[in-house]
Amino acid sequence: MSYNIADLQRLKEFYEHQLLKDTVPFWFPRSIDETYGGYLFMRDQDGTLIDDDKAVWIQGRAAWLLSTLYNTVEQKPEWLAGAKSGIDFLNNHCFDTDGQMFFHVTREGKPIRKRRYYFSETFAVIAHAAYAKASGDESAAEKARYLFGKCIEYATTPGLLPAKFADTRPSKGIGVPMIMINTAQQLRDTIGDPRCDEWIMRWIEDIKRDFVKDDIQCVMEQVAPDGSIIDHIDGRTLNPGHAIEGAWFILHEAQYRNNDPELIALGCKMLDYMWQRGWDKEYGGILYFRDVYGKPVQEYWQDMKFWWPQNETIIATLLAYTLTGKEKYAQWHKMIHDYAYDKFNDKVNGEWFGYLHRDGRVAQTAKGNLFKGPFHLPRQEWYCMQILKNYLK
């Protein structure tokens, strides 16, 4: 099969409809915390609040989303005001005295937990950058650039943050170069920064050199510092949806660089390898974890279907299709799109369930918690709209 122009037009309209009539209205305006600022996202399937705590990652991600909608879809004042609420909450409550950000705070903004990595910071970068573009607020732009510099420092200075593991068996994860690529891309796409181009290519080179294994057709989730496979349970654990997210970050870069053929080849290869590893031939959808050699995976939820690997795969397959025109990618896109909107989308209350059993039954009903909020799904719907809008031009 392939997609013709009418198919792609329909797909664009579908994503636009879902984003603006189903996903965004589930979260807004009710999640804006009019009392303390920021957002109240920990909600059950029908929108009932199950916890008023705030996950700092998701506060930043949502401020990014609202700013991005304002920048690219429509200049709605409530989106800009909503973004400002998140930005202010981040700045007033989510930084510790040592400059690091918290991970989890109370509704009022008191710290519950700080973690030993800096993903709160990367999401604060994209939030501030998109908000600076939307509002013209120069201090937000400065904050984005300053925090991006801090992230580079954390990413390149071993020992700057406390270690979780001893030095016996050093390892590095694909998560760091991935998140840094995407952070730099967002910064560049909104307010621009002279550091981005060079750093993006360095991090892509890291992934290509150390994580992509052509001999076994695989993208590793973690490796030794020299890129070798660590043949222990953790080192063997693959996260196909995550690697596929990395694939589309690289395809996005290919598109930015005038459809650079080497980057297209790299991104498509990563998608190919991890589709084979992650697609569930029995029930459909992308499985959470796999072992590189087929041994038992320790993480308990390894064969569940989470929402976000499906979102990332919908993006990656669509982008691979629009960049290469290969029928295979249209076919994969249709498979993952049909599966995901059938199984995850809540036809009664809107938005998606987050956690399905392997066979597609809903495992638990929360729409938002410490780890899920308005990010992967609305980003997918928004970005697929953009891909298709550009392609159809």
Closest distance to a second copy from the beta carbon of 373 (Å): 13
Q: Which of residues 319-338 bind a second copy (CB under 8 A)?
A: none
> Rounded to whole angstroms, how far apart are CA atoms 128 and 90?
10
Host H or E run for residue 391: helix 376-392
Q: Which residue in 73, 303, 328, 331 binds a second copy (CB under 8 A)? A: 303
Query: Which residue lies nearer to a second copy by CB, 209 or 357?
Result: 357
Q: Which of residues 227-286 bind a second copy (CB under 8 A)?
A: 232-233
Query: Which residue lies nearer to a second copy by CB, 109 or 177?
Result: 109
Query: Which residue lies nearer to a second copy by CB, 74 or 167?
Result: 167
> Could you count the other beta carbons within 10 Å of the beta carbon of residue 17?
13
Q: Which of residues 207-236 bind a second copy (CB under 8 A)?
A: 232-233
213 strand-pairing partners: 218
Q: Is residue 161 part of the contact set for a second copy (CB under 8 A)?
A: no
Q: Is residue 114 part of the contact set for a second copy (CB under 8 A)?
A: yes
Q: Is residue 300 part of the contact set for a second copy (CB under 8 A)?
A: yes
Q: Is residue 349 part of the contact set for a second copy (CB under 8 A)?
A: no
Site stretch for a second copy (CB under 8 A), options 10-18, 50-58, 212-220, 331-339: 50-58
Backbone angles phi, psi at 364, to 5 degrees: -155, 155
- Taking CA atoms, 243 is separated from 2, 193, 214, 269, 290, in Å, by 25, 26, 14, 11, 12
Closest distance to a second copy from the beta carbon of 105 (Å): 8
Site stretch for a second copy (CB under 8 A), options 105-113, 216-224, 241-249, 379-387: 105-113
- What beta strand segments (E) does the chain contain? 42-43, 49-51, 54-55, 104-105, 111-113, 172-173, 212-213, 218-219, 222-223, 237-238, 290-291, 305-306, 355-356, 362-364
Closest distance to a second copy from the beta carbon of 370 (Å): 6
Q: Is residue 20 part of the contact set for a second copy (CB under 8 A)?
A: no
Site stretch for a second copy (CB under 8 A), options 123-131, 158-166, 181-189, 263-271: 158-166
Q: Which residue in 34, 136, 165, 215 binds a second copy (CB under 8 A)? A: 165
Burial class (CB in 10 A: 0-12, 13-18, 19+), 64: buried
Q: Which residue in 301, 324, 335, 345 binds a second copy (CB under 8 A)? A: 301
Q: Is residue 152 part of the contact set for a second copy (CB under 8 A)?
A: no
Q: Which of 261, 257, 322, 313 is nearest to 284 (CA)?
A: 313
Contact of 76 with 24, CB cutoff 8 Å: no
Contact of 285 with 310, CB cutoff 8 Å: yes
List the structure tokens of 60.
């930043």
Q: Which residue in 112, 201, 224, 229 binds a second copy (CB under 8 A)? A: 112
Query: Which residue lies nearer to a second copy by CB, 114 or 269?
Result: 114
DSSP string, 174-234: THHHHHHHHHHHHHHHHT--TTHHHHHHHHHHHHHHHTEETTTTEE-SEE-TTS----SHH
Closest distance to a second copy from the beta carbon of 391 (Å): 36
Count of positions on this chain that bind a second copy (CB under 8 A): 38
DSSP string, 291-318: ETTSPPP-STTTT-EEHHHHHHHHHHHH
Pairing of strands 111-113, 104-105: antiparallel
Binding site for a second copy (CB under 8 A): 42, 44, 50-51, 53, 102, 106, 110-114, 164-166, 168-169, 232-233, 295-298, 300-304, 355, 357-358, 363-366, 369-371
